[in-house]
Amino acid sequence: MLASAADVAWGGAPRVSIRPTARAGDFHKRAVKGADALIAAARLGGKVAFVVADAKTGLILEAANPVLPQPPACVTKTITSLYALDTLGAGFRFKTRLMATGPVVNGRLKGDLVLVGGGDPTLDTDDLADMAAALKQAGVHEVSGKFKVNSSALPFIKQIDKSQPDYLGYNPAVCGLNLNFNRVHFEWKRSASGYDVAMDARTKKYRPSVRIAKMRVVDRDLPIYTYKDSGGVDNWTVARRALGRNGSRWLPVRKPHLYAAEVFQTMARSQGISLPRAVEAKGATKGTVLVEHKSDELQVLLKALLKFSNNMTAEAIGMTASAARGGTGGSLKASAKKMTDWTVSHTGARKSKFVDHSGLGTGSRLTAGDMVSALVRQGPNGSLAHLLKPIALRDANGRVIKEHPIKVHAKTGTLNFVSNLAGYVTAPDGTQLAFAMFMADERRRAGVAKSDREAPQGAKSWNKAAKRLQQALIERWATLYGT
């Protein structure tokens, strides 16, 4: 009875209803986690550097370690693209030619036939098949002289980065005559007598076998692959226990000009044109152009480069640009030095250093501040922005969030324990930002044995954590700096 008659004061209940306090208009911004907290939560180790700026004015909005030189990895390809556009022009096309040193009389070429490379990084088996057919249409049915191959348009680079394992397909040779991204297709299948293996130059239409690269299956546990240059042939061995029932993979080619010559011989033979074994020619080829194959325009090649990040393509394009500026000095290092000098003079980057054009070599360095400076100079609607690929934002389970209000166009860069991202962000309100993020644990990277560099322990999970951090920073910036 007493409880039912109790006054509200007994329970301390308010006599006047409390009104909630209105939140400030920028509460959603103040609720965003700080960059330091996000970096700490990622637990990457090593160093994290980033800069984000207004893409139109260049005003720096937020930064961490902005002048710390970090390995740029494949973000290097954005600089290579700018370098090539400025030097060669968006409409530049690579040319691969068949030239004759003598006249064609009654279907017989009285002289040498020369396959002349122009550095085209996209030439493939299908293109050589078309060139062989065009040679026949040009009236050539027989060659009385030699069949020569000329790859002197670019320096010969046996491999992009010597510190990488020999068998990695993304680290091939590069020269003035390239084919199928300078990779050969290795395929195996278990049989009653052991394994049937094949080495071919396959593309969409064709898969001609090649002799320039050979494979032998041997009984051992490790190493999985060995390589030896012997008699002008890429000789490979593979550990039997590593093969399983069947499978395939791409291996690098170390003599791409001879690889292309052999495949062209096969395609010419299919047209009824028999060619002798190829011999190398150096210097400028004088004669008549019988057939000419042109690549797509440079801007098309660069868009594919920034999407698929092929290292050989980057090196061929970069060295071609350097050659157009007065020679490469006969080496990839000299060509990269030319690009370094260009970067300083054209973007204001003061601490840049490149040892190649792809970012595969670990000696390259770039700061987040310098990268953003280059992006701001180009602008969010400039030539580079239109070449960058869209980067999808994902939910906590890794699924792509469709129709996400934040739009990102950027270039990724990944090495073991290195993860980078640089490009442009468009916030939901249309605000455009330029950003660069370089994340690297160089001490951990240096501790990886050469034999383990294809997939070292812990690298995959580290990379996932880095990508989550990158997205968290992008979401932070879009929220804070969108008007």
Q: State how far the Cα of 267 lies from the Cα of 319, in Å rounded to an integer.
A: 29
pLDDT of residue 6: 40
pLDDT of residue 268: 98
Mean pLDDT of 139-168: 96
At position 11, the amino acid (one-letter code) is G
Mean pLDDT of 372-389: 96
Higher-confidence residue: 28 or 148?
A: 148
Mean pLDDT of 32-39: 95
pLDDT at 7 over 90: no
Can you state the angle between helices 332-347 and 311-324, rounded to 10 degrees? 70
pLDDT of residue 1: 32
pLDDT of residue 348: 80
Q: State how far the Cα of 128 lies from the Cα of 205, in Å rounded to an integer.
A: 11
Using pLDDT thresholds of 50, 70 and 90, give the confidence band for residue 32.
confident
pLDDT of residue 347: 87
pLDDT of residue 12: 46
pLDDT of residue 5: 41
pLDDT of residue 11: 41
Are 437 and 50 contacting, i.e. CB atoms less than 8 angstroms apart? Answer: yes
Using pLDDT thresholds of 50, 70 and 90, give the confidence band for residue 20.
low
Q: Give the range among 70-74, 133-137, 232-236, 346-350 with minimum mean pLDDT.
A: 346-350
pLDDT of residue 367: 97
Q: How many Å is the maximal CA-CA distance in the chain? A: 125
Phi and psi dihedrals of 271, rounded to 5? -95, 5
Using pLDDT thresholds of 50, 70 and 90, give the confidence band for residue 350.
confident
pLDDT tens-digit readout, 409-434: 999 999 999 999 999 999 999 999 99
pLDDT of residue 327: 64
Mean pLDDT of the chain: 93
CB contact set of 444 (below 8 Å; sequence gap of 6+): 45, 46, 417, 458, 462
Higher-confidence residue: 328 or 238?
A: 238
Pairing of strands 60-64, 142-143: unpaired
Mean pLDDT of 70-95: 98
Are 332 and 360 contacting, i.e. CB atoms less than 8 angstroms apart? Answer: no
pLDDT tens-digit readout, 444-455: 999 999 989 999
pLDDT of residue 362: 85
Mean pLDDT of 242-259: 97
Mean pLDDT of 231-260: 96
Mean pLDDT of 206-210: 98
Q: State how far the Cα of 327 lies from the Cα of 338, in Å rounded to an integer.
A: 9
Are 137 and 268 contacting, i.e. CB atoms less than 8 angstroms apart? Answer: no
Are 108 and 135 contacting, i.e. CB atoms less than 8 angstroms apart? Answer: no
